[in-house]
Structure 1
Amino acid sequence: MRIPVLYEDNHLLAVVKPPGVPSQEDETGDPDMLTLLKTDLKERHGKPGNVFLGLVHRLDRPVGGAMIFAKTSKAASRLSEAVRSRSFGKTYMCVVQGAPASSNGTLKHYLWKDQKRNQVTVFNKPESDAKEAILEYRVAAAHERFSLVAVRLHTGRSHQIRAQMAHIGCPIVGDLKYGAARQPHISNLALWSTSVSLPHPISKEEVAFYSLPEVAAPWSWWEADQLEYAAKLYI
């Protein structure tokens, strides 16, 4: 499997993660992003021995889009600090059932993850062991029973967008885990990582990488200019 490369230098690797591929090795043993990219780097650059590649952030297995990896340990350390300090920007687009009560807003909840079930419970107020989760959203377009929504994350909790959108009555299309209705011919989650922005680990200059979803349902329900508009709402 070849992974599309958005950008590469001696320190960073920005790629498009295909939906359905794990970010790192899991119990399924299926091909994962780290292993695939290490193999690709080794082959493309003729590197002997092991290839270093640092996982900076994760995307849920059914989610596709822009993803960043570190090619050196120094870059990995600095990018991890950017994530902790929230100078690592992430935007997404999703197709949801229905429409939020407001066309734009900020969602603040508290999330607790059941590790055994791999599912998140959402609380409106602080609860023991629940972590604060904040995101901004804007409805980019709507038709029939669905809305195209742009999202900017302020925190990076597991299943955050999926759980918070479902909590306000707008589960993401294809997300059966969080209450979405089954849709014919849709097997992947309608959630896409549209951009990742960060200070370059060496030059410190702000860099950003963008990706639009593949043209397949439910993304094909929208015109190309609508998808581009949604992707640029938080740029």
Structure 2
Amino acid sequence: MLEISVLSIIERISLAALLGGIVGWERDLRDKQAGIKTHLLVSVGSALIMILSTYGFHSMIDHENARFDPARLAHGVISGIGFLGAGVIMRRSDKKVSGITTAATLWVVAAIGLCVGAGFYAPAYIVTFVVLVNAFILRAIESRFFYSSGYVKLQIVDSEEPNFFGKIITLLGDYGIIMEGVKFCEYKESEVDFNCLNIIIFVKYKQNGCIVDFIRHLNSLQGFRVIDCNDKKVLLKNGEK
């Protein structure tokens, strides 16, 4: 007959919380929709369901009308986690979708929680390590050698200034940034300024440093003001609120 001690339950739930929280911490660093709290809860919940599936029905093992299958509830976790993943995926524009990586990490921490709940610790540690390598090391390689997509929202204070768009295009070329598209956007109350024009420029760039320098240069020009960016940390580095 399968049994588990209270100490072992506490150990497994705590470990699931730790590993899920580590993955969520990385998402929090990126200012994503699901962070430490969400990933921790998914991992802990998965561990709890796995413990329940393995040990919660031990009294029914020898029952003639019952079939013991610990994988049933685990299968439900993997299938049901999709509703959380769908909730964090957002379409920002015609060419930009965000939240896919966060949805994937939610799915992974569910699997990590199931492993911990089943007492299968080694795979849980290994997968957590792989997720962190993917998040930090591969992300750095990607930003160094591959293009990242984003947007910069500008406010043109003096919309009657001649060839203001030409200045922006010239600056983009100087910093090695590719312009993918332009869209005129609506005002927010906090953005309203007399005789101004708000536009969003969708861009591709290789290094975060170039987009920071580009925004800093734009802000130094008379008549231009950056009021939003896809990466909030870029604005904070640049001194924007």
Of Structure 1 and Structure 2, the greater strand share is in 1
Question: TM-score band (shorter)?
Answer: 0.3 to 0.5
User: Rg bigger for which structure?
Assistant: 2
Which structure has more relative contact order (CA 8 Å, sep 6+)? It is 1
Give the TM-score taking structure 2 as reference length.
Answer: 0.34
